[in-house]
Structure formats: structure tokens, C-alpha cells
């Protein structure tokens, strides 16, 4: 490798979808001989494999906010009040991490950081400690381009002058919504003596590794060489959740709303009725978010219902995937070559849906769409060959299946090379490397 063995810290939001992707990167880095530690609240241990190190940021003192309540609010962010509380949660967590991470990182002897773009505390702390870090985009990248609308908007791609003006307006709205978070960043940036007062200014100067593949993105007017869109972060190991056994019988439609949105019974009910209307088989996975009564109701509507399945395996037997637009699920569907119906709910999901539609590999609909509207879209995806042809075209544009391996190569070539070259500051790096080699 030429960079030695390093102790890499990972700073990320306390959301299971982000941690699932980052665990895949950690698996790959550990296979290359590196030590990896997640810097997270103790509550997140349920989403991080026992084989990975988790250094609790609340080991010495409890957090001034409930992570469980924060995740629950993130699962239902619609409405002005709920959305504001969710953004307040993000700002409060950043504030806490800025206060606690320097001592934790120093005590752990961490050589470099991987910082999820959605948790800016890691970037501020890294800069204050002169610690090399690389940004990681588990969701749509925040790296701005004038031709692209903000990730949280489902606007169609429009690179015209009028479209770019519209995009600028979208970013101004985004900045207004993030005012409290920007205030927290400014306070800590001043205290640390660093220049990073917005989420974009917190992006690593070394670059960003994103699991969104270039073939699925909108065309960028000015693609930054520091943005590496490598493909999905997936581990070769089985999925961590306990999966229910089922036959490999092909199905027409597979529906998953992810780990945070699986409680939305009404969406699943409308899907079940839509599939019954067009006489198509449906498999629903709810990630343990529905109760027995709700599952029985969906079964009576003709759906097969399971709490957890091996999603990637199931997709190989499905003809259409219905998703909320979480990037993990969309990238899995792309990997399986299955067209999608995207029902975006929040966060970057509208932006993901817009990209799916742009490339012709699926359709979108409001997540509250009624059975008749859903049936019409599902029929198109099942019967029209153009979607599968477009999917084949997107799949042919690059090695999108090697995201974790390519990300690991970049981490070693960029981040750990930088850490090794600053070894007077990170004296522990060389000592650990020698110990491992011996």
C-alpha cells in the first residue's frame, strides 16, 4: 500500500441507512489491514457490526438529546413543525460533537477521519486538529454545481440560464432553512480558528467519495475532479438484519420504504391494492415497523409481507422495485437491473427520484398516490420494454458494482497518503504500521 496501517475514525449522522453504507466501507478497510472506529452515540451500536469499533461520544456524559427520539422524528419529517424540529436536532448534535470529538479523537490515537457530508462536526474538528479527512456522500452529494438543483428538490434537470437561476433560488431557500445549523457552525469555526461556516465549506479539500454513480447523476456543468462518484458501498458479507427465509419464486413487484419509513402502512396498502387491481404479485418488507394486525391486513389484500429480507437477493427475482428513493435501495435496484417506481418522502429522495426519471429507468409518484395511479405506473414499468433498455444502458456506463473497493483505493491513495506524509504530527501511525508488519 505504501501508506502504512492507519486508525481511521468515522463521523456520521445517527441514521441506519448512512451507517449501513459506511459499515461496508469499514469492512473493506479492515480487510486491507486498517483499524476503523465509529465515533457515535452508544444508541447506534445496534446498527454497527460488533466487528467494528464504536467509541461512544456519550461514554463520559449523557447527550443533551435523545438519539432514539431524534431518529423517530427523522422518520416523519413532513410538516413545518416536524421539519424544523428535525433540523434543530441536526444542529444540536453538531454542537455536541464539536465539543466532545477533539478529546475522544486524541485519546483514541486516530490518524485520519472519514466524515459523512451530513455531519459537519467531523470536518470542523479535523481542521482544528490539523487532521486529514475525506468527505463521504452516502446520500446525494452536497458538492454544488450550477446545473443541478439542491438535492432535496425533485426538480427536473434544466441546464438553461433559466434553470440555473431557478437552482440558485433553491439554494437560497436551503440556506434559510439551515440558519440555526449555520449559526452553530460559525460559532465553532470561530472558536476553532478555522474557515468553514457552511455545510459546503466543510467539504474536505482532499475530496469527496460518493456512492452515487456518475451514470445515475445529472450531467454536471463543472464536474469537480475532487468528487469521486464510485458506486454503492456494499459489503460481500450477508446483510446484518436477521432476514426471513422465503422461496426464490419470482415476483412482479418488490416494495421497500427503508429502515425509517417502513411504518407507512397506508402506502403499502395502496400498493397492495394497486397490484391486486392489475393481477401482479407483490412482496413487501417493512423492516420490523408494522404490527401483526397491519401485516395480516396486507396479506388479505394479496401481498406477501416480511419484516426483513436480503434485499439484493430478492431484487434478482423481481421485475419492478418500489422504493421511497433512499439511495441505498436505488443503487441496489440499479445493480440488479430492475426498473423502479419511486415514491419520495423527504430528504434527498425527491432528487433521487428526479434522476431515476431523467435516465428513463423508472417513474415517480407522490407517496400518497392512490391505487389507480400506482397501478397505471406499475403497468407501464412491467409492460413497456423501454425501461429495461434504459436500465441496461445506465448499467453499461462504468463499473458501478465495485463502489466499496474503489472507495477504499481512493481512501488509501488520498487520505492515508496524506496522513502518512504528516507523520511528525501522527507519530502513532508509523509505530502501529511497524507493529502490524512485524
Burial environment of residue 388 by CB neighbours within 10 A (0 to 12, 13 to 18, 19 or more): middle
pLDDT at res. 242: 55
3-class secondary structure per residue, 288-350: CCCCHHHHHHHHHCCCEEECCCCHHHHHCCEEEEEECCCHHHHHHHHHHCCCEEECCCCCCHH
What domains lie within the chain, and their CATH numbers? Answer: 7-236+400-437 (3.40.50.2000), 251-395 (3.40.50.2000)
- Residues of the chain above pLDDT 70, percent: 90
Of the listed ranges 71-75, 298-302, 358-362, the least confidently predicted one is 71-75
Work out whether strand 53-56 and strand 112-116 pair parallel, antiparallel, or are unpaired: unpaired
Q: Is the pLDDT of residue 429 over 50?
A: no
pLDDT at res. 433: 33
pLDDT at res. 244: 61
Mean pLDDT, rounded, for 333-358: 95
Mean pLDDT, rounded, for 15-20: 92
Mean pLDDT, rounded, for 249-273: 94
Q: Average model confidence (pLDDT) for the chain?
A: 88
Q: Give the pLDDT band (50/70/90) at residue 416.
A: confident
Q: Is the pLDDT of residue 420 over 80?
A: no
pLDDT at res. 432: 32
pLDDT digit string, tens, across residues 347-371: 899 999 999 999 999 999 999 999 9
Q: Give the pLDDT band (50/70/90) at residue 161.
A: very high
pLDDT at res. 2: 44
Mean pLDDT, rounded, for 174-199: 91
Q: Is the pLDDT of residue 383 over 50?
A: yes
Helices (H), 132-245: 161-177, 179-192
pLDDT at res. 60: 87
pLDDT at res. 209: 96
- H helix or E strand, kind and range, residue 137: strand 133-137
pTM of the model: 0.89
Amino acid at each position: 500500500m505504501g501508506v502504512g496501517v492507519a486508525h481511521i475514525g468515522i463521523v456520521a449522522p445517527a441514521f441506519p441507512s448512512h451507517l449501513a453504507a459506511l459499515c461496508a466501507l469499514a469492512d473493506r478497510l479492515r480487510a486491507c489491514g486498517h483499524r476503523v472506529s465509529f465515533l457515535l452515540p452508544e444508541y447506534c451500536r445496534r446498527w454497527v457490526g460488533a466487528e467494528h469499533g464504536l467509541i461512544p461520544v456519550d461514554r463520559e456524559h449523557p447527550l443533551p438529546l435523545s438519539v432514539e427520539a431524534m431518529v423517530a422524528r427523522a422518520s416523519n419529517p413532513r410538516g413545518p413543525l416536524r421539519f424544523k424540529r428535525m433540523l434543530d436536532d441536526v444542529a444540536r448534535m453538531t454542537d455536541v460533537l464539536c465539543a466532545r470529538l477533539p478529546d475522544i479523537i486524541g485519546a483514541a490515537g486516530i490518524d485520519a477521519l472519514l466524515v459523512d457530508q451530513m455531519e459537519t462536526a467531523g470536518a470542523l474538528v479535523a481542521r482544528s486538529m490539523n487532521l486529514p479527512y475525506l468527505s463521504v456522500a452516502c446520500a446525494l452529494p452536497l458538492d454544488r454545481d450550477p446545473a443541478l438543483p439542491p438535492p432535496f428538490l425533485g426538480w427536473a434537470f434544466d441546464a438553461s440560464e433559466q434553470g440555473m437561476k431557478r437552482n440558485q433560488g433553491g439554494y437560497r431557500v436551503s440556506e434559510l432553512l439551515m440558519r440555526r445549523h449555520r449559526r452553530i457552525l460559525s460559532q465553532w469555526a470561530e472558536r476553532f480558528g478555522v474557515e468553514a461556516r457552511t455545510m459546503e465549506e466543510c467539504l474536505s479539500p482532499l475530496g469527496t467519495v460518493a456512492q452515487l454513480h456518475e451514470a445515475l447523476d445529472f450531467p454536471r456543468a463543472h464536474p469537480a475532479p475532487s468528487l469521486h462518484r464510485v458506486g454503492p458501498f456494499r459489503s460481500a458479507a450477508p446483510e446484518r438484519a436477521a432476514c426471513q427465509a422465503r422461496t426464490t419464486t419470482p415476483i412482479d413487484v418488490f416494495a421497500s420504504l427503508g429502515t425509517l419509513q417502513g411504518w407507512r402502512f397506508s402506502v403499502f396498502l395502496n400498493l397492495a391494492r394497486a397490484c391486486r387491481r392489475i393481477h401482479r404479485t407483490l412482496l413487501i418488507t417493512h423492516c420490523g415497523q408494522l404490527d401483526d394486525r397491519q401485516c395480516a391486513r396486507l396479506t388479505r389484500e394479496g401481498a406477501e409481507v416480511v419484516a426483513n429480507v436480503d434485499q439484493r437477493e430478492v431484487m434478482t427475482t423481481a421485475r419492478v422495485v418500489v422504493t421511497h428513493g433512499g439511495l441505498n435501495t436505488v443503487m441496489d435496484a440499479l445493480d440488479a437491473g430492475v426498473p423502479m417506481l419511486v415514491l419520495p418522502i423527504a430528504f434527498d429522495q425527491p432528487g433521487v427520484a428526479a434522476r431515476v426519471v431523467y435516465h428513463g429507468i423508472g417513474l415517480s409518484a407522490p407517496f400518497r398516490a392512490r391505487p389507480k395511479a400506482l397501478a397505471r405506473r406499475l403497468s407501464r414499468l412491467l409492460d413497456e420494454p423501454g425501461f429495461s433498455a434504459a436500465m441496461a444502458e445506465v448499467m453499461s456506463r462504468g463499473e458501478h458494482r465495485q463502489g466499496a473497493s474503489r472507495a477504499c483505493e481512493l481512501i488509501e491513495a488520498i487520505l492515508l497518503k496524506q496522513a502518512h506524509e504528516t507523520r511528525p504530527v501522527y507519530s502513532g501511525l508509523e509505530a502501529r504500521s511497524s507493529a502490524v508488519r512485524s
